[in-house]
Chain A
């Protein structure tokens, strides 16, 4: 893994008053993304607009595709053409991307997909927030696989986590999701973009050996093989079929076990290095609220009110959604009375919490149908109830 400073051409150093969507585009440019293929959809379009406007000066390319199926297909091509690549979408577009998400996972193609979530199902509420795609990104494509997902709660974090998403994507050759939502996407706050020299960027691991020895895959379950650019004279193959180290189809149960185990283990065995949490007063708490994204900022008020009411309340914000912080949740379960999980869906990540807790404490879901954030009082009531 080669880390360098960011390419100054992509870095809009300074303080800005930006919305989350624009901050995602700036994060991508700072991380060295120079190819963006997408199809506009509310509430994510501003990211595409910003990238399209800014990328020529950084030497990048933006292409508006005919739909989201083609968009993610173009990313696979762009990545194997040698670029860091990204797209942005929302619910309906994300659904269309599921088939090629599997192809990206199987071919171990690094890419970043920002999902600015809106309320569904179907076209739902285009201009209103939700957190309803958390399970879709994890399970939406067929077969067994892993992806990485990060969840920003502010425009500043949209910038920071997009840079991190590219770094993780290059490190593990895996699609990485930015799970924003309409509120964070359209919320404006101050965003500070550091000088290029202070932004750490993971560069692609390019193969440097003799051409005849190049292998695009290695199935170690830990590290990933270096990449090359298509068209540079290497002989290799990229397919969604179960493949060998050269990438050619190898359709046996034994090979499938090697490939699928690798796809899963390269993430699971590195989970401790990937997972980031933001905890507050968790030690000694009776109730811990586990939340992510915009909901965490609503939780901040509910937790403050609960503490004022004398309830020992901790807060854990999941910055990394996938891989899930199961070890830490399990550890907490032995120490607290209850874990409260508010989310803008009818109970998605709460299932992961329940699975990790395995009956060791109460788990209280605080669902929301989408279209708005929670009323902090509803979360407060759940904390009060859970503390009894």
Chain B
């Protein structure tokens, strides 16, 4: 069982992150996944989070209670949700937008400049796919093959290739991060 929270502000593709991952898991990785989201009435800029429960069997309780993985793409999201991340959990954060407190070893921290990478690929809109690449590489909760299969239908066809590139960029970067700082796995994730 995994509990994952994606968080940031509206417009960063936070909901889409969980949607792609949930679809990948439940349709191509043979897992059960339940995705919930919380958002305000604003379309852009408001606080936004999406949650994913992943299990080998049917999920009854649909909510994330103590996530083992947190993706934080904004300072607000980090401040709100980092304290709710499980001890020993994985924190992947936007290196240029989030200034975390000093690493006290409570959680495993992986910074990734996902927006900058996306801009290098031509548009900051691809930041969420870069993020998903990092997430897949670091946590291994979902396979990269399933993630790519999940994209059609959730990403406009004309942007599929560039989004796959963004995913690969994040995936490679995530593997690099792991080399420097291997993941300590346990029941936390």
Contacts and interface: CB of A to CB of B under 8 A. Distances in A.
B32 interface: yes
B61 A187 contact: no
B23 A17 contact: yes
A299 to B, nearest CB: 9
Given A17-B26, A188-B23, A189-B34, 11 more contacts: A15-B26, A17-B150, A186-B37, A188-B35, A188-B36, A189-B33, A189-B59, A190-B26, A297-B60, A297-B62, A301-B60
A285 B32 CA distance: 30
A360 B35 CA distance: 41
B61 A301 contact: yes
Nearest to B26: A190
A301 B63 CA distance: 11
B22 interface: yes
A190 B23 CA distance: 8
Contact of A17 (B22, B38, B39): B22
Which of B32, B33, B36, B150 has the most CB atoms of chain A within a 10 A radius of its CB?
Answer: B36
Which 5 A-B residue pairs are closest in the complex by CB-CB distance? A17-B23, A300-B60, A188-B35, A190-B26, A301-B61
B19 A187 contact: no
B34 A300 contact: no
Determine the main DSSP class of A at the interface with B: mixed
B61 A188 contact: no
A373 to B, nearest CB: 7
Given A17-B23, A189-B35, A183 B41 contact: no
A190 B61 CA distance: 15
B22 A297 contact: no
Contacts, number: 55
Nearest to A189: B34
Give the contact-size bracket for chain A. 10 to 19
Contact of A188 (B34, B38, B60): B34
Interface of A: 15-17, 42, 126-127, 183, 186-190, 294, 297-298, 300-301, 373, 376
A298 B59 CA distance: 11
A48 to B, nearest CB: 17
Interface in B32-80: 32-41, 59-63
B11 to A, nearest CB: 16
Contacts of B18: 188
A32 B158 CA distance: 33
Contacts of A298: 61
A183 B150 CA distance: 23
Contacts of B33: 17, 188-190
B47 to A, nearest CB: 12
A17 B22 CA distance: 7
B25 to A, nearest CB: 9
Given A127-B41, A187-B36, A189-B35, A373 B63 contact: yes
A188 B19 contact: yes
Nearest to B34: A189
A186 B26 contact: no
B41 A187 contact: no
Contacts of A187: 34-36, 62
Given A17-B22, A17-B27, A127-B41, A297 B61 contact: yes
